[in-house]
């Protein structure tokens, strides 16, 4: 840590030249594929190369190259002063990260899973999120808290929670949740460059998924705007909002619905806070129906906030009740069959869309 401080004092105005893009650039345009893991790794690499104030810290991020290999190669390239292995003490290293951000450095703090961020929540909520306001704008806190969020597979109740709505309820934080490689790369770069604290919620089951990427996405200057959703699929009959892994489920549901004559529009939220209310409401005013999808608990969830926004701003345009698809309101079961029942599935989204389009028996009538 002292080495980072010395580096800042001696060369805080110097930026390293951005490196050439990885070998992915040599692929033909028809075969450019990138996993979410590679997207996150390349974003970290390029931002650390571009700005000497950026550093990474967390459990096993260095010698082991990350529990999920997100930080592969970074210790060798940047050394132990900028890639710091920490003890298993989230409260400790999150606090050190916030203190470094106070000083003007740009820490990226990795939680092996966001379930462990509960150990550090005081630093995230009471220190990082509130310091800019409490200092009357004199103190910025440019820190990123990142790691896998939500359910994985067979890891039980204590390791399966989605924290999107937890952190999104707190003023002072920005909360991002990528789905594709484009999302992961562009949003992580935006998070690192942002002057405010950002909670960056990844998904363990998406790390190995490959997505097509363009030359624009592979450029080192590529960056996505915080607070802007992406319409993944245009449609006219029903709006489906989702984030993280649930975007893929929504897109699969839309394909099934298309075969049955229902044209679904799928919105990838990308940013949970700030929420792109204008894109959501514009879509609902076109389709006149809304389905929200998330892995988290239903009460006080992201979907509840979206439904409230639509009812407040676009109620007159609705032709059907809004519907929320969310995880079951129970701790995550360990048994595989019960676990599947506790998280949203593609068929749940399909049924909800049919109900919204009056193509199926309503829930109340079926009860």
Helices 181-193 and 36-50 cross at an angle (nearest 10°) of 30
Greater confidence, 152 or 285?
285
Contact partners, residue 74, CB within 8 Å, separation at least 6: 41, 44, 45, 48, 56, 61, 62, 65, 82, 83
Q: Look up the pTM and report it.
A: 0.89
C-alpha 47/C-alpha 39 separation (Å) is: 12
Query: Which residues have CB under 8 Å from 202's CB, separation 6+?
Result: 36, 40, 146, 147, 148, 149, 177, 178, 184, 244
Q: Tell me how far apart the alpha carbons of residues 314 and 21 are, in angstroms, rounded to a whole number.
A: 44
For residue 188, the surrounding DSSP H or E stretch is helix 181-193
What H or E segment, with its residue span, contains residue 342?
A: helix 336-342
Q: What is the pLDDT of residue 29?
A: 43
pLDDT in tens, 257-267: 999 999 999 99
pLDDT tens for each residue of 76-112: 999 999 999 999 999 999 999 999 999 999 999 999 9
What are the tens digits of pLDDT across the range 298-315?
A: 999 999 999 999 999 999
- Residue 28: is its pLDDT beyond 90? no
The dihedral over CA atoms of 250, 253, 257, 258, expressed in degrees to the nearest 10, equals 70
Percent of the chain with pLDDT over 70: 90
Per-residue confidence (pLDDT) for residue 2, from 0 to 100: 37
Mean pLDDT of the chain: 91
Q: In which band, very low, low, confident or very high, does the pLDDT at 366 lie, cut at 50, 70 and 90? A: low
pLDDT at 109: 98
Using CA atoms, how far residue 302 sits from 39, 47, 87, 166, 317, in Å, is 26, 30, 33, 9, 21
Tokens 């993280």: give the residue: 244
Is 123 known to be catalytic? no
300 an active-site residue? no
Q: Are 110 and 146 in contact (CB under 8 A)?
A: yes
Band (pLDDT 50/70/90 cuts) for residue 280 is very high
Select which of 81, 159, 209, 313 is catalytic: 159
Residue 216 CA to residue 179 CA, distance in Å, equals 18
Question: In the prediction, which pLDDT does 31 show?
Answer: 56
Position 102 scores a pLDDT of: 97
pLDDT at 61 over 70: yes
188 pLDDT above the threshold of 90: yes
DSSP state of 320: S
Taking the C-alpha atoms of residue 303 and residue 233, their distance in angstroms, rounded to an integer, is 19
- Specify which residues 325 forms β-bridges with: 293
- 197-227: per-residue pLDDT in tens? 999 999 999 999 999 999 999 999 999 999 9
CB 74 within 8 A of CB 46: no
Alpha carbon distance 178, 285 (integer Å): 25
pLDDT greater at residue 358 or residue 30? 358
So what's the pLDDT on residue 365?
57
Question: What average pLDDT score do residues 251-255 get?
Answer: 98
Q: How far apart are CA 259 and CA 326, in angstroms?
A: 24
Q: Residue 262: its pLDDT value, please?
A: 97
pLDDT score for 293: 98
Catalytic option among 47, 90, 110, 294: 90
């Amino acid at each position: 840590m002292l080495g980072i401080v010395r580096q800042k004092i001696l060369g805080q105005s110097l930026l390293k030249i951005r490196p050439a893009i990885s070998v992915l650039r040599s692929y033909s345009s028809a075969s450019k594929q990138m996993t979410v893991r590679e997207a996150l790794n390349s974003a970290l690499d390029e931002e650390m190369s571009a700005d000497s104030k950026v550093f990474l810290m967390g459990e096993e991020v260095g010698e082991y190259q990350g529990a999920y290999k997100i930080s592969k190669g970074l210790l060798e390239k940047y050394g132990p002063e900028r890639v710091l292995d920490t003890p298993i003490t989230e409260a400790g290293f999150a606090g050190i990260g916030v203190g470094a951000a106070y000083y003007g450095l740009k820490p990226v703090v990795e939680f092996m899973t966001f379930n462990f961020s509960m150990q550090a929540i005081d630093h995230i909520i009471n220190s990082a999120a509130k310091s800019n306001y409490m200092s009357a704008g004199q103190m910025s806190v440019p820190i990123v808290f990142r790691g896998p969020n939500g359910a994985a597979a067979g890891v039980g109740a204590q390791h399966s929670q989605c924290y999107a709505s937890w952190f999104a309820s707190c003023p002072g934080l920005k909360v991002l949740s990528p789905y594709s490689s484009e999302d992961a790369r562009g949003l992580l770069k935006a998070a690192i460059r942002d002057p405010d604290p950002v909670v960056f919620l990844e998904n363990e089951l998406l790390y190995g998924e490959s997505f097509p990427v363009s030359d624009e996405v592979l450029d080192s200057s590529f960056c996505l705007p915080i607070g802007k959703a992406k319409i993944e699929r245009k449609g006219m009959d029903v709006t489906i909002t989702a984030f993280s892994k649930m975007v893929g489920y929504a897109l699969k549901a839309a394909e099934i619905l298309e075969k049955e004559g229902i044209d679904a529009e799928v919105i990838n939220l990308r940013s949970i806070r700030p929420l792109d209310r204008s894109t959501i409401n514009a879509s609902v005013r076109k389709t006149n129906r809304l389905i929200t999808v998330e892995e988290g608990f239903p009460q006080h969830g992201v979907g509840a906030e979206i439904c409230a926004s639509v009812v407040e701003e676009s109620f007159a345009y609705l032709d059907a009740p809004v519907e929320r698809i969310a995880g079951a309101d129970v701790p995550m079961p360990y048994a595989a069959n019960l676990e599947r029942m506790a998280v949203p599935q593609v068929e749940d989204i399909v049924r909800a869309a049919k109900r919204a389009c009056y193509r199926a028996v309503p829930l109340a009538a079926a009860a």
